[in-house]
Amino acid sequence: MARIRVVTLNMEQDHKRWEMRRELIVEQLVELRPDVFAMNEVCVPLQTARWLQDVLKERLDLEYALVQQTKSNGEAEADGEALLTRFPLIETGNLDYRARDMVALVARISVEDAPLDVYVTHLYRSIGEDSLRLYQVQQLQAWMDRRADVTARIVCGDFNATLDKPSAALMATRYRPTQSAPTAFTPLADSDGAVSHPDWARMDRCIDYIWVSRDLHIVKSGVCFDKASQSDSSLWPSDHAGVWADLEKAGSARADAGVS
């Protein structure tokens, strides 16, 4: 399998000056040129994932297929998960956790004629009980087990848990995080100066991940979307930083870069 670049970001819907900060997101995407871009909190009314698809076509002259899954119940009108991929789509699917309106999507893509499953999910909020996130991880892994005909897997998203929490620790029993550097929370402020998540420290925890199966080598990984606007120190791409990773099939890389 060729080396592929995967990027993930929680986009904070259309909150906190979206029309200004979206340019920061695009600038970083143009620099990263991802093969796969996973998104949490896309804004359904504004179709922000489709907007990014169109802009990347315009600025990079690259065609991306788009997969989206709205959250369930009342949240379906506002928020969802999404994936852009340059690789051919084989199939897609979705999972409703039946807990706090959270969902997951999967896109099976073809990379040099080899199937690869990419999952995107967003788990229960950070200030909530980890027992609910643990339940969601259990449901996610059970769903993945039912799709065992493909073992090469990538799981992207905002897990709202550090690696010492039971939910993230359960993921780590079967999948490796490409990095553990802090991703939350940036000093993103709204036009009135209100800072995102005011009760939390700035950039002191990793809660956003790219998890990979044993079939894949982590060539290199790091944090992205982690710089403020040069003209406004309170304007960031999102309230989270993102994660990027270059991956290869096991056996095609000399060494695994591991967790940084």
pLDDT band at 250 (very low <50, low <70, confident <90, very high): confident
Question: Which pLDDT score, from 0 to 100, does residue 26 have?
Answer: 98
Report if residue 255 sits inside a domain.
no
Q: Does residue 141 carry a pLDDT above 60? A: yes
Q: Which of 37-51, 179-193, 240-254 is predicted least confidently?
A: 240-254
Task: Report the alpha-carbon distance of residue 25 to residue 52 in Å, rounded.
Answer: 9
Per the structure, the complete domain to which residue 184 belongs is given by 4-249
Question: Which pLDDT score, from 0 to 100, does residue 255 have?
Answer: 43
The pTM score is 0.96
Report if residue 260 sits inside a domain.
no
Residue tagged 């120190």 (tokens): 233
Question: Residues 168-172: contacts with CB within 8 Å, 24+ apart?
Answer: 168/137, 168/209, 170/134, 170/137, 170/138, 170/141, 171/137, 171/141, 171/209, 171/211
CATH label of the domain that carries residue 163: 3.60.10.10
Q: What percent of the chain has pLDDT over 90?
A: 93
Question: Which pLDDT score, from 0 to 100, does residue 252 have?
Answer: 63
pLDDT of 208-222, one tens digit each?
999 999 999 999 999
Residue tagged 């027992």 (tokens): 131
Question: Which pLDDT score, from 0 to 100, does residue 128 have?
Answer: 83
Number of domains into which the chain is organized: 1
Question: Which pLDDT score, from 0 to 100, does residue 23 have?
Answer: 98
Q: Beginning with the edge strand found earlier in the chain, give each strand of the sheet holding 208-212 in spatial order.
A: 89-96, 103-111, 114-122, 153-158, 208-212, 176-177
pLDDT of 119-128, one tens digit each?
999 999 988 8
Residue tagged 């339940």 (tokens): 135
Question: Are the C-beta atoms of 26 and 52 separated by less than 8 Å?
Answer: yes
pLDDT band at 94 (very low <50, low <70, confident <90, very high): very high
What mean pLDDT do residues 228-249 have?
A: 98
How do strand 65-70 and strand 4-10 relate by DSSP bridges?
unpaired
To the nearest whole number, what is the mean pLDDT of the chain? Answer: 95
Question: Which pLDDT score, from 0 to 100, does residue 1 have?
Answer: 77
